[in-house]
Every structure is written in C-alpha cells, then in structure tokens.
Structure 1
C-alpha cells in the first residue's frame, strides 16, 4: 500500500468517545516538531451532530463526503447492541466503506467497530479480529469471516481490524511503522507514553514482540542488557548481577517482564536487528554479530519467526532511503 496521507475517522451514531479520541491520538495530532510526518486527519459523520455513548453530543465540521479521498477510513465503534446499527445514517456509512475499499483505500475498525465492517460486507472471507468478548457474536453474524480472537490486530488486504481499545493504538503504530519506519513509530509511541511493541503476531512484517510490563526491581538490569546485546548472557550470571539465586532471579524476571530471560534477550536482539537493517548498510553477518546472534543463520531463524519475513526482505522493504 502507498503511504497514508489523509485519514478520515467516522463517528457513527452512538460513538464511543474514548475510541474516537484514540483514533485521533494515532493520526490527528500534529507532531512535526518531533520530526514526525503530518497526517491530514478529519472526523466525519453522516450528520453534523452525533450523539455519543457518553451522553453528550459531538458536532463535526466534516460530513462523509470529506472521506471520499481518504487513504485510510477508521470506524470508531458505537457502544450498544449491534441491532442498533440500522437506519439511513449507517447505510450511508456502509456505502462509504465499500466505496473506499473499491477505490483502493484501507478501512480500519477499532474494537467492536468490526461489526460495522461486517455489516458493510467487508469481512466475508477475510481474517479479522475484535475484542475477545465479541468474537463469538461476530462469528455468529459473519460465519464466513476468519476471526482470530487471540491477536491484537489483523491486516488482511485493505481491511484492518483491531481487538480491544488499546490495541487500536498498536495498529496505528504498525501503520506508522509501515509508512515511515521503526524510529518514527518509536517517537510517536514515546509521545504517547506507551511501549512501541506489545504481544501479537500478525501477517507479514507485523511484530510479535515481548510482553511489556513495569519492571520495578529489574529495570536497571534491563537497561544495562539493552546495551549488551552482543554479549552472551546466562541466567546464573544475570542472577549474580542482581544478587539473587538463579531460581529466584528466573521467577522474578517472569513476574516483572512476563517472559523468560532467553526470550526477552532474543526479542530485544531482533528489535536491534530491525533498527540496523532499516538505518544501516552493514552485511547480515555484521548485523548478526552486533545483535548477539552467533551466525547469520541464527539471525534469520529468529528474525523470520518473530517478524514474519527474512532480514533481507525486511531491509528491502523498510530501509530508509536518502532524501
């Protein structure tokens, strides 16, 4: 897909204000002072005034016509029974979504907004997701859709779906990363005060990084290890640095990070490899050594398993080009 330049966020009748704001957080805030590309972002609706699920009305400047040239159309969900997704306003939204896909744009749902895409007929035969609590109902209504309730988001061609509320930001960051690279996505995540990666394997080029949790006790050690990825580490050595027994250290590490030391290091090394492949020209052997993988074959093995593509293919797609 070409880079996203214009984003239209659709406020459906009964829209959930938080999800509407989440979509705006992803693409509507001007961050050019931080070196982050600008998105032309508008909120559109079928009528000038939309009653939200929060009990207050939202007045919009733009109607659905202003989304006809958007590269990405985002559906912010409504809170309420899916049976309420009827009437001329929803019909107009369904038509907009279908036209958007037909002309080559992408459409994206947040949480239960997948039901709106389903009602527009855009989930049939596609992989998709929604909040795990709604997955069974989405399957009942759209049995031909391939619903995966275990992931944060799914990108199937022009149809993008995210799971619970926070995963909408994961999908926004994925699209920003796809368009502008890892470093820009990291800057956006830093502005949002959220981790740039969370659990969730998706289609090609989508991260499946480590689980992110606060690490109160081990935070200093983790910061040190991030600068020592080219060094071989053992649980015994790390435990000694933390003044713990290996068993206590392993238990504390899982409690604070949600994973094992080996998996944590592997994912951090892959993330470093991604940055080197995007911004540098070092050979694969050099990247492997710098990231702590013993051989290029070992790098390829872990990189392909986590990222979903080979280091060479990833570089070809995401390497930053000189202006």
Structure 2
C-alpha cells in the first residue's frame, strides 16, 4: 500500500504540517483544495473565530446582575456553533481568494511556490469554483442571524475583497487584515442584540491592534523574500523596532478591551482572563527573535492561547454572576 510519506511529495506544499488529518483521511486529489482552504493549518480560522466568540460572550455577560440565570449569562451555543462553521468556511474562502490574487507573488517566494495554484495542481477556474462553494456555506450560516447581523456580515466583504492587494500599495497590510479578521467582534454583539454599542466597537478596535501585532510576527518569516518581490508589510516597516511596536500594539489592544469590558459592566472575573492574556503577550514580546522564522511561526500560533484566555475569562464572569448569590 502506498504510504502517506511516499505520497507527500506529490501533493503537499513545502511547509505543510506532517501527520495532519487532511493527509491521512482525504484522497490525494482533494489535497490541493484542502491546502487552498488551509484545512491543514487551523490556526487561521481559530484567529478569525476568537473575536466572534469574545463578542458573543461579552454580549451575554454585559450588565449581568448577581443571580442572573446561567443560561442567559452565557453565549448561545447555537451562535457559537454558527460562528465556528462560518469561520472555517470564510477563512477558507478568503485564503483561496488570496491565493488567486497572489499567484505570481507566491510563485516567487520559496515558502509558497509549491502552493496549489503556482504549482499547477489546480486551475484558476477550479479554485474560483471552490471559493464560491465555501462562500455559499458562509452565507448559509450568516442567514441564521437577525437582519442587522446579516447586513453587518455582508458589509465585511468589501474589506475582504481589497485585502490581498494592500501588500502592493501600503506598508500596513496588517491593518487591513485586522479590519477583516476582527469583524467578528461586532458580529457576536449584533447577533445577540440586533444592534451595536460602544463595547463591541472598542473590542473591535482592540482586536485590530492584536491582529496587527501577531501578523507582524508572522510576516517576519518572509521578510527577505518579500523584499525581493516588492511585497510590503509591517514586519519590513518596523524592522529592528518590532518589539517596541508590539508593546504599543498589544498594550493598546489590552487597554481598549479593558475599556470595552468596563463599559459593558461584565463581572470582574472576565478581567482575569484579560490580565492572563496580557502576560502571554508580554512573553511573546520578551522572547521574540525576528530573525528566527521557526520561532516567529510558533509565537504566531501561540495567539490561539490568547484567544482562549480572554474567552474563558468572559465565560467565568457570566458564571460568577449567576452563582454569586450561592457563594
């Protein structure tokens, strides 16, 4: 029987993770589509999901009074599930669209030239068809929410559409990525209340700074190739001052999120999660070596922990409010 190892060189991109379920469970002909959607790299949809889940938990625990029923102090399980499915589908669609826009650039960069499009494992027509299929899944999820949330979700597509081209015209493409990847900070609140208020807006602003920070770390992997092909990024812009910029970005993110929590009057335990996330961000800055691509990738991935810390803190705040009279 042909082993996974012997098949690996036939259909996997150069930096694909080994041992992932995509390469164990899917037939070889599906591998290029899984790679277009980055199913073998779940960190992307986790980072897209966290602002959605934070916002949903923030909305549920906002202005929670002691003794509030537990079910009303926690986010709707259905909303969490819809956001999960939507994040996977729309992150996959976004990555496919990005690969279509960046095919020539990817062909010139060592880490990306073996991706499905530049390596001719799929045609552009096939990639567009796959993109539409994923977008339809995202649309099916979006229409489960209230009309305001549906319109808000559709509005995000304008940012998604322009993002792949920003690296050609600005040193701040990470800011545009932040606008797109943080949109869920508005969506969770909108899905709960059918409107927006200052807490989700400030959560959105804080998440944008967080995204710029972690994607700057990620971009340091490719800065040499990016310089050769003319791709611009905050990693190239900040250079040796990256750590000081991360202090400002992560510090600003935490400050804005703390103000959002205060305005929403979430129970105090929620702040514990935010403080823990702050320590994690500080650790990233302290150990960062911008000339070590492997470490940059590990630190980028570690932001999944930041997401969990903030989310669990918000859940703990809701549970605390519900159980307070019993303690």
Q: TM-score, normalised by structure 2?
A: 0.27
Higher relative helix content: 2
Higher relative strand content: 1
Greater RCO structure (CA 8 Å; 6+ sep): 2
Q: TM-score, normalised by structure 1?
A: 0.27
